Structure 1
Amino acid sequence: METKHWKEWVEDLLHWRDFQRTAVVFGASLFLLLSLSTCSIVSVCAYISLALLSVTISFRIYKGILQAVQKSEDGHPFKMYLDQDIALPAETVHTYSDKALVHVNRCLKELRHLFLVEDLVDSLKFAVLMWICTYIGALFNGLTLIILGFIGAFTWPVVYDKYQKEIDHYYDLVKKHTKDICGKIQAKIPGAKPKAE
């Protein structure tokens, strides 16, 4: 059986192509995020570890008693998992760290571009975005935004597939109006020239 690339797996998950798998991942992840919003990360990790240990210890004791009663030599119930190699391949780690480094460097260059006002219009747009973020930050904390983003990631693809034509129409209208407004603002700012497309 051919294994799926992780991007295809994530896409199948977000589009709910395998309902059972998506429901389990969505439910468990949402439960974890909601737990983090009420308890500290240390408490959540400790409770999850205790729950997992309770299950595995109980299963190990149950299998031990069953083997003693039936006088069988089945061995350790988790032997198959204990024998598996779980080490991360060095090549994979290097590949992903190189990709992450490219993104970090790109972000650093962009931040330098914005904060040192290489382009006045871009810096002003960034300032407006940060000003809007102050209001968002006053309404929501970071974890609430992560929870909302997580729920959106699992609902937006399905909604977009269903209403793609209408969403694209309104998106184009908003994009056109935003471009017109930015053009008017750029025309009034001395020394700001619209970017050539």
Structure 2
Amino acid sequence: MVKKNSRSQYQQELPERGPVEALIYWRDPKKSGIVFGSILVILLSLAYLSLISVVAYVSLLTLFGTIVFRVYKSVLQAVQKTSDGHPFKEFLDLELTLPQDKVREFTDTAVTHINAAVAELRRLFLVEDMVDSIKFAVLLWCLTYIGALFNGLTLVILGFVALFTVPKVYENNKTSIDAYLDIGRSKIAEITSKVKAAIPIGKKDADKEKDQ
């Protein structure tokens, strides 16, 4: 009883999240476990089977489950002489059409992010800022090694696992992690300032900022 009370008290103290964030932060372990396990099984299946095969197998398993459940409920209603109706009536009555305002909002947001990404890439490739372009080059160089070790699907799987683990770990250890992150930021800022001071372009930009 004490464990249940402490657990419920802990859950009440947690900040409220949206439905997606609630899954990621494991507010309801049962729901999060089902979503995490199902998607992870599909991703792992894609590592060994083609996309068409995975879609076909998942669809067949889902259809088989719904048919068995429908037959079971029909037999149960016949034996008990009840008229509960279709077992999936609640889901059949759900409205599945996409709202136009939400689609338009999503499209506008996506276009905004794409335009920002294109502008940032243009800035980096055309060396508007030498230090930023060098950091981008280092990132691309690191990606060549990552690409040699992992394929795209493996990175997707690792990213998905991290999505369901890193936020919860950070939430449980926020204070200590923030302390280390502050140390890392200060070191990066110190190194960046030294690099800018060593590069002639960086010195010119610094002089311009002082003149302004």
Paired residues for 1:99-114 under 5 Å: 99-114=109-124
Deviates more, 1:76-85 or 1:29-38: 76-85
Q: 2 CA distance for matches of 1:63 and 1:162?
A: 44
**Which residue of 2 is the match for residue 136 of structure 1?**
146
Tell me the SS of whatever aligns to 1:84. Answer: coil
Q: 1 CA distance for matches of 2:79 and 2:182?
A: 71
Q: 1 CA distance for matches of 2:82 and 2:19?
A: 41
Question: Which among 38, 58, 69 is matched to residue 48 of structure 2?
Answer: 38
Q: 2 CA distance for matches of 1:144 and 1:103?
A: 25
Unaligned runs of 5+ in 1: 1-6
Q: Among all aligned residue pairs of Structure 1 and Structure 2, give the percentage whose two residues are the same amino acid.
A: 52
Distance 1:81 1:156, change over 3 A: closer
Give CA deviations for 1:45-65 in whole Å, capped at 9, x if unaligned.
Answer: 110001011122333444555
TM-score, normalised on structure 1?
0.84
Question: Which among 55, 66, 79 is matched to residue 56 of structure 1?
Answer: 66
Q: 2 CA distance for matches of 1:55 and 1:158?
A: 33
Deviates more, 1:152-161 or 1:98-107: 152-161
**Which residue of 2 is the match for residue 16 of structure 1?**
26
Question: Over aligned residues, Cα RMSD in angstroms?
Answer: 2.3
**Which residue of 2 is the match for residue 171 of structure 1?**
181
Deviates more, 1:123-132 or 1:154-163: 154-163
Unaligned runs of 5+ in 2: 1-16
Number of aligned residue pairs: give it: 190
Distance 1:34 1:121, change over 3 A: same
TM-score, normalised on structure 2?
0.78
Say whether residues 1:84 and 2:119 are aligned partners: no
Give CA deviations for 1:106-134 in whole Å, capped at 9, x if unaligned.
Answer: 11111111112222221111111100110
Deviates more, 1:71-80 or 1:150-159: 71-80
Paired residues for 1:120-159 under 5 Å: 120-159=130-169
Deviates more, 1:63-72 or 1:35-44: 63-72
**Which residue of 2 is the match for residue 181 of structure 1?**
191
